[in-house]
Amino acid sequence: MAVPYQYKYPHPAVTTDVAVFTLRNQQLQLLLIRRAQEPYMGQWALPGGFLEIDEDLDSCAKRELKEETGVADLYMEQLYTFGRPDRDPRERVISVTYYALVPTDKLTLSAGSDAAETVWFPLQELPELAFDHEEIILLARERLAAKTHYSTIAFQLMPETFTLSELQSVYEILRDEKLDKRNFRKWVLALKQLEETGGKRRNGNHRPAKIYRLTNPDRVDIVR
């Protein structure tokens, strides 16, 4: 094949990488793919890939995620741009990174063409990672925890309906601390972002819990 793309000055490659978080089994989990090509073949990495020449950065992140993992329709924010000159052994690569949240019930994984395998890992059990992806994940994790304090971002991890105890548990996992039940309920209801469905959830040998849904499921608000 001829080499059709020529430039007067050297150009770096640009990729997007996405740290996708979800909650399963009361654990915060992260979506990783096993790399099917060199470099780092066989190693685990964030889903992501090269920017096409006429697509938006956001679109690239979503497209690569879809192609590699089948995951679509999630909440995504730009995180940071990484560009250490030696972060990729092939060539100079600038990675515009994102983090994303998706409730488990919206999920259908399917290994795509680029990735040999797509697996959820609990954050406590991450394997060794390709490139500087561990650094990216740590930054995303930090940002996520911080944002629970002043935005409704955590709601993006909730299924269609849920109980207040389930919601509290999500906050506890994200912040990695126990919260007081009464204070949490007071706080979260004051946000005016939840409404009762009227239903109740029976879930063991005890009183059933009221079921709630989000009044604005697709919106993340700054609160305080």
- Out of 55, 77, 91, 117, which one is annotated catalytic? 117
Q: Which does 117 bind (CB under 5 to 8 A by kind): its own copies, DNA, none?
A: none
Element (H, E) at 196: strand 194-201
Helix, coil or strand: residue 2: coil
Tell me how far, at minimum, the Cβ of 179 lies from DNA, in Å: 9
Token duo for residue 106: 């919206």
Helix, coil or strand: residue 191: coil
Q: Which does 121 bind (CB under 5 to 8 A by kind): DNA, its own copies, none?
A: none
Q: Render 38-58 in DSSP notation, one character per residue.
A: SSSTTSEE-SEEEPPTTS-HH
Tell me how far, at minimum, the Cβ of 127 lies from DNA, in Å: 32
Tell me how far, at minimum, the Cβ of 224 lies from DNA, in Å: 6
What part of residues 23-62 is at the interface with its own copies (CB under 8 A)? Answer: 50-51, 53-57
Q: Which does 127 bind (CB under 5 to 8 A by kind): its own copies, DNA, none?
A: none
Kindly list the residues in this chain that would bind DNA in the complex (CB under 7 A).
163-165, 180-183, 185-187, 200, 202-210, 224
Q: Please compute, for residue 180, the number of CA atoms within 13 A of its CA located in the half-sphere on the CB side.
A: 4
Tell me how far, at minimum, the Cβ of 58 lies from its own copies, in Å: 9
Tell me if 177 sits within 8 A of 192, measured CB to CB.
Answer: no
Token duo for residue 147: 């944002």
Tell me if 93 sits within 8 A of 16, measured CB to CB.
Answer: no
- Amino acid at residue number 214: L
Is 117 a known active-site residue? Answer: yes
Q: Which does 94 bind (CB under 5 to 8 A by kind): its own copies, DNA, none?
A: its own copies
User: Which of 47, 97, 45, 96 is CA-nearest to residue 69?
Assistant: 47
| Chain centroid, CA 115 distance in Å | 18
Pairing mode of beta strands 13-24, 93-101: parallel
Tell me how far, at minimum, the Cβ of 92 lies from its own copies, in Å: 5
Q: Of 139 and 209, which CB lies nearer to its own copies in the complex structure?
A: 139
Q: Of 146 and 189, which CB lies nearer to its own copies in the complex structure?
A: 146
Q: Does 6 bind its own copies (CB under 8 A)?
A: yes
What part of residues 51-110 is at the interface with its own copies (CB under 8 A)? Answer: 51, 53-57, 78, 80-81, 83-85, 92, 94, 96
Active site residues: 117
